[in-house]
A = this chain, B = another copy of it.
Amino acid sequence: MGELPTRVSIREVGPRDGLQNEDPVPTEAKVRLLNALSHTGVSRIEAVSFVHPKAIPQMADADEVWAAAEKVPGVRYSALVPNSRGAQRALEAGLRELEVVVSASDTHNRRNVNRSTEESLNDISALIAMVHGADGECEVIISTSFGCPFEGDVAPARVASIVDRVVTDGADRVAFGDTTGMATPRRVSDVLDAVRARQADVPLLLHFHNTRGTALANILTALRFGITEYDASVGGLGGCPYAPGATGNVATEEVVHMLHDMGIDTGIDLEALIDAARLAQQIVGKELPSGVLRAGPRIS
């Protein structure tokens, strides 16, 4: 397989990104899922987001969920925040790993938050300073990094210049979001080539959707660049609600199953993870798109 990392860190995003894109579920179900995931051996979990309850009712109970969830030693928990107010809530709740999003596509950013990418970057600069002031870490997620549903292809140079800006502003990590499943091995290569030529050291994380079947091929491509941090969602939780059956987030089991077979350690117990995916399926009350959940591991 050539030179590949021997260890990969998965951030489980099912409780936040997954459930945020499903019909609302009860607080206790969220806590049960979080606790199950905390005991799979996963190193990181995106637990909640502190967004306005009117904008995203699925996350209205973020404070209660986070307060009730087990904090398992060795697991790093993070929260997504939309702005300084959300960051304040997250910090007050005791979280110290925060994520904030900006879109590489100006059109997409305006449709999401009614601001230009540049305006959002200015806000983020202040937000990073605030998080650092509270001894927290701040990751910047650049959405539409591999393409925009409104603008089409996004120039890798534009993505790279946004990385430059947020690194200058102190971002502790940069994540690339495959917002509508437009990433392919070629686009992943192009973005990583452009970014790594200018930023050799900042930690990078990739977040892929499996909308067009490419998620694991994209991860395979990124592994060859030495990328060791990936988002994934238990069971594939968080499929686009407007396209029945269409897959959104790549399923954590599928990622772990492939990586382990390649001799790449994740620290995760695949059987425990599949149990958590079954729980996720039960919680949302519908079949989730994960092939490994459905078919089981290649050898069990």
Contacts and interface: CB of A to CB of B under 8 A. Distances in A.
Interface of A: 1, 147, 152-153, 181-182, 184-187, 189, 210-217, 219-221, 243-247, 250-251, 254, 257-258, 261-263, 287, 290-292, 294-295, 297-299
In the complex, the 7 A-B pairs of residues with the closest C-beta atoms, listed nearest first: A213-B254, A216-B217, A182-B298, A217-B217, A184-B261, A212-B291, A186-B262
A262 B189 CA distance: 10
Given A213-B291, A245-B287, A186 B153 contact: no
Contact of A246 (B214, B244, B251, B294): B294
Q: Which of A220, A290, A297 has the most CB of B within 10 A?
A: A220
Contacts of A261: 184, 186-187
Nearest to A182: B298
Contact of A212 (B153, B184, B257): B257
A147 B181 contact: no
Contacts of A254: 212-214
B243 A294 contact: yes
Nearest to A152: B299
A261 B182 CA distance: 10
A182 B189 CA distance: 27
Contacts of A295: 181, 211-212, 243, 246
Given A186-B261, A258-B184, A147 B214 contact: no
7 contacts: A184-B257, A185-B258, A186-B261, A213-B215, A214-B254, A214-B258, A246-B291
A217 B258 contact: yes
Contacts of A294: 243, 245-246
A236 to B, nearest CB: 9
B299 A211 contact: no
B219 A298 contact: no
Nearest to A220: B217
A187 to B, nearest CB: 7
Contact of A262 (B184, B216, B258): B184
A55 to B, nearest CB: 25
A230 to B, nearest CB: 13
